Amino acid sequence: MHVRTVAVALTALVGGAAPLTLPGAAHAADRTAPDRTAPARTASASVSGVGGPVMIAHRGASGQAPENTLAAVDAAKRMGVVWVENDVQRTKDGELVVVHDDNLARTTNVEQVFPGRAPWKVKDFTAAEIRRLDAGSWFGPAHRGARVPTLKQYVNRIEKHRQKLLMEIKNPALYPGIEKDIVRVLRKEGWLDRSHVRSRLVVQSFSAPSLRAVHTLRPDVTTGFLGTPAVADLPRYAAYTDQINPQHGTINAAYVAAVHRLKGAHGKRLRVNTWTVDDAVNAKKVRGYGVDGIITNRPDVVRAALRR
C-alpha cells in the first residue's frame, strides 16, 4: 500500500474546529524494504489481547522474509499471525501474481535477467518469464531463489496454514477485468465457499470502481476501501464496503468513531484496519483510537508493544 493525499472533514466531530487536511507525501518506510534489524519473535497470539486489534502481516511477515513471497507467509505462520495481507497484479498472458510494485525492479533481479526490458512492468512480462526471477536475494542470501508466487500458489499456502487473507487488488486500472480474474481463481481454489467468505477473506483496494466491481460480482465477499475518505463521504463507501482501511498518520479517535457509527454493505459496523504500523509508539496510539486491526511489517514489535 502507498499513502494517498486525503482530506478528512472532522468539523462536526471536534467541536467546530476547521477541517483537518492530512499529509499526502508517501512515507519512505512504505516505499523501501522493511527494517530487518530486530530479531523475530515466535508467539501464538494473533491479537494484542482480549478485545485488542487484530494483527495483519503486511505482505506477509515482511520484516522477517521477502515481501509477498511464500516465505513471508510461512514466517507469519511461525509467529502465530492469522491474517496475511498481499498484493495482486496480472502478467502479460493473464496470470495473477503476488507482487506490490507495478514493476519488478525493486524486489527481483529482473534488471539482470532481462536487461533490455526497462521499465520492467509486471504487465509486460509473461508468467513464465516472471518465474525465472529471484525474488529473495534482495532481502538476504538465505532467501536466494525465492519466486514471485501466483495467486493460486499463495492462497494454497495460506490454506495449508489455516490463515486468513486480506488481498489488495493492486493498480486495477492497469488490468481491466482483473476483478473477474480474481473471482475465478478464488472460486477454483475453494476460497468462495461459505466458510472462507464468512470469516477468512477480505478484498481491498484504493480503487472505488474496483471494489464496486467485486461487490457486483460477489456481493457476499467482504471488501475494504484503502484510504481516508472525508467523514461526509463515508455513507457512500458503506454502500459497497465493509471496511475503511487508512494510513495510520491520517486518522485520530474521532475519525475511527465516525467510521464505526456506520454499517457497511453487509449490515455490520464498518471496521478500521490501519497501516503500516511498525513501532511501539504508533501501535499504542492507534489502539487508543479504537482501530479493529493493525497492518504491520513487524508483528513481533507491535505485539510486544500492545502486551505492555
Task: Answer yes or no: are the C-beta atoms of 13 and 257 closer than 8 Å.
Answer: yes
Is the backbone of residue 93 left (phi > 0), alpha (psi -120 to 50) or beta? Answer: alpha
- With 0-12 / 13-18 / 19 or more C-beta atoms within 10 angstroms meaning exposed / middle / buried, residue 178 is buried
**3-state secondary structure string across the chain:** CCCCCCEECCHHHCCCCCCEECCCCCCHHHCCCCCCCCCCCCCCCCECCCCCCEEEECCCCCCCCCCCCHHHHHHHHHCCCCEEEEEEEECCCCCEEECCCCECCCCCCHHHHCCCCCCCEHHHCCHHHHHCCCCCCCCCHHHCCCCCCEHHHHHHHHHHHCCEEEEEECCHHHCCCHHHHHHHHHHHCCCCCHHHHHHCEEEEECCHHHHHHHHHHCCCCEEEEECCCCHHHHHHHHCCCCEEECEHHHCCHHHHHHHHCCECCCCCECEEEEECCCCHHHHHHHHHHCCCEEEECCHHHHHHHHCC
Mark whether 143 is an active-site residue: no
Instruction: Tell me which of 2, 27, 58, 196 is the catalytic residue.
Output: 58
Q: 58 an active-site residue?
A: yes
Catalytic residue among 2, 100, 143, 260: 100
Q: How many CB atoms lie within 10 A of CB 95?
A: 19
Catalytically annotated residues: 58, 100
